[in-house]
Amino acid sequence: DQQVKQNSPSLSVQEGRISILNCDYTNSMFDYFLWYKKYPAEGPTFLISISSIKDKNEDGRFTVFLNKSAKHLSLHIVPSQPGDSAVYFCAASEGGGADGLTFGKGTHLIIQP
């Protein structure tokens, strides 16, 4: 039973446009959400996170939105750049450090020139 789902295995976006990556979760105990970016043969790199007490967090070109009632979060990248081409993982955790991260299967983002 997948508790974190990324339903789009891949996404192609033109350079300069907005990239929107989506993630759904089922566990209502999750209260901290993260996005990681991964290049081939490297480990996941932390990108941005959001606590469940917020509905938006912004860092430069990256913004994460959280809709708790829908159990949905999204990552917006604007403008998209060629270096953004990578696999993006959504991850979630329960509060208090009770456990590690539960990951989605990832979305492969391809930025077209």
Which residues of this protein are in contact with another protein, per CB under 8 A? Answer: 31-32, 34, 36, 41-46, 49, 51, 89, 93-106
Burial (CB < 10 A; 0-12, 13-18, 19+), residue 109, is: buried
Q: What are the backbone angles phi and psi of residue 97, rounded to the nearest 5°? A: 70, 30
53 vs 70, beta carbon nearer another protein: 53
42 vs 83, beta carbon nearer another protein: 42
Tell me how far apart the alpha carbons of residues 29 and 19 are, in angstroms, rounded to a whole number. Answer: 28
Q: How far is the CB of 98 from another protein (least distance, A)?
A: 8
Of the candidates 37, 25, 38, 107, the residue with the CA atom closest to the CA atom of residue 71: 25
45 vs 112, beta carbon nearer another protein: 45
Q: How far is the CB of 92 from another protein (least distance, A)?
A: 9
Secondary structure tally for the chain: helices H, strands E: 0, 11
8 vs 49, beta carbon nearer another protein: 49
Q: How far is the CB of 34 from another protein (least distance, A)?
A: 6
